Amino acid sequence: MHAAVLEMIYNQRNEIKENWSEKMTLVRNDVFKEKVPKTLFQDTNEEFAALIFNSFDAELEDGRAFLRSFAEKLIRMGWPLSYFTKGMQTFRRVVLESISSGSEIPSKKMYETFYEIEEWVDEMVNQLVDEYSGSWETTLHQQRLALKELSAPLIPVFDNISVMPLIGTIDTERAKLIMENLLDGIIEHRSQVVLIDITGVPVVDTMVAHHIIQASEAVRLVGAECILVGIRPEIAQTIVNLGIDLGKFPTKSSLRKGIETGMELTKRQIINV
């Protein structure tokens, strides 16, 4: 950018920043309908302003890194892109107002100055849009991976028989994921019998039992059957002590027994060799 323009912005930076912050309250109403806490909004504006002023003297690469981390922050907070674009437009307006009111720049240079500022704003917005879309993709990708790990896979063992090993604590959120996985897996593999293996579940309380019972009811609705396997002694104790009724639920002591029952249900027998 033209040295005189940079100098002007630099000299008046306090005033520009103040004007800008004030005008940003309109953006808060417009973009967020006041649903963002005031202090959070102000703090973010501070960072935004620092980013803008930094972009004037920092090396290009540094500026880019700063912009990237700001973009990541906005994404993490779920703020819309329009916060950034409107912020930049507001900044441009404030700078242009200062320039036209002051006499630092000879009027014949005015047009050139406008043009330069315009270009600079466009460049910033373009860069941020780039960062925004790039980071979005990575964030989504990471979330998907995390979800996959959290939710148990359905493993087909024989035609029509699958096993779902549950590992770790089961809260409501995970239970929902597991249920969806289970049902989708049943459709995909055309499983008639699913063995739910709870060997890896550390605690079975009323809540967990409730989730398991619901899963088995849903499994029945899509047209398959559940057998519960892998009940450790202490789990059997808590189930009875808590008065949880697993009466309707076929259970087997081991995976192998479960598979045998599954085979009978699907009219097949394990042939001893």
Partner 1 sequence: MSVQSSVEVHTEWGIVSARQAGRNLAKEIGFGSVDQARVTTAISELARNIYLYAEKGEIIIETIEQYHSSGAKKGIKITAKDRGPGIKNIREVMEDGFTTSGGLGAGLPGVKRLMDDFDIDSVVGEGTVITAVKWLR
Partner 2 sequence: MRIPILKLQQYLLISVQVDLDDQTALQFQEDLLNKIHQEGSAGVVIDLTSVEMIDSFIAKVLGDVVEMSNLMGARVVMTGIQPAVAITLIDMGIILDDVPTALDLEQGLEKLQQELEE
Which residues of the chain form contacts with partner 1 (CB under 8 A)? 32, 35-37, 40, 76-80, 180
Q: Given candidates 6, 222, 240, 242, which one binds partner 2 under the rule CB under 8 A?
A: 222
Give the E-state strand segments of the chain in sequence order.
155-158, 161-167, 193-200, 225-229, 251-252
* Shortest distance, position 267 Cβ to partner 2, whole Å: 9
Contacts of 24 (CB under 8 A, 6+ apart): 41, 45, 87, 90
The rounded Cα 132 to chain-centroid distance in angstroms is 14
Among 76, 141, 190, 232, binds partner 2 (CB under 8 A): 190
Rounded CA separation 264/129 (Å): 59
Q: Which of 180, 205, 234, 264 binds partner 2 (CB under 8 A)?
A: 180
Nearer to partner 1, 147 or 203 (CB): 147
CB of 150 to partner 1, least distance (A): 12
Site for partner 2 (CB under 8 A): which residue of 37, 80, 202, 223? 223
Q: Does 187 bind partner 2 (CB under 8 A)?
A: yes
187, interface contact from partner 2, partner 1, none, CB < 5-8 Å by kind: partner 2
Neighbouring CB atoms inside 10 A of 42's CB total: 14
Question: Minimal CA–CA distance to 87: which of 111, 67, 105, 103?
Answer: 67
The stretch near partner 2 (CB under 8 A) out of 45-53, 59-67, 136-144, 177-185 is: 177-185
Partners of 225 in beta bridges? 193
Q: Binding segment for partner 2 among 18-26, 27-35, 73-81, 175-183 (CB under 8 A)?
A: 175-183
Q: Is 263 exposed, middle or buried (0-12, 13-18, 19+ CB in 10 A)?
A: middle
Nearer to partner 2 among residue 27 and residue 183 (C-beta): 183
How many Å apart are CA 202 and CA 197, to the nearest integer? 12
Q: What is the rounded CA–CA span in Å between residue 243 and residue 210?
A: 12
Distance in Å, CB of 262 to partner 2, minimum: 15
Q: Per 3-state DSSP, what percentage of the chain is helix, strand, and coil (rounded to 5)?
A: 70, 10, 20
Smallest gap from Cβ 187 to partner 1, in A, equals 12
State the residues that interact with partner 2 by CB under 8 A.
179-180, 183-184, 186-187, 190, 192, 214, 217-218, 220-224
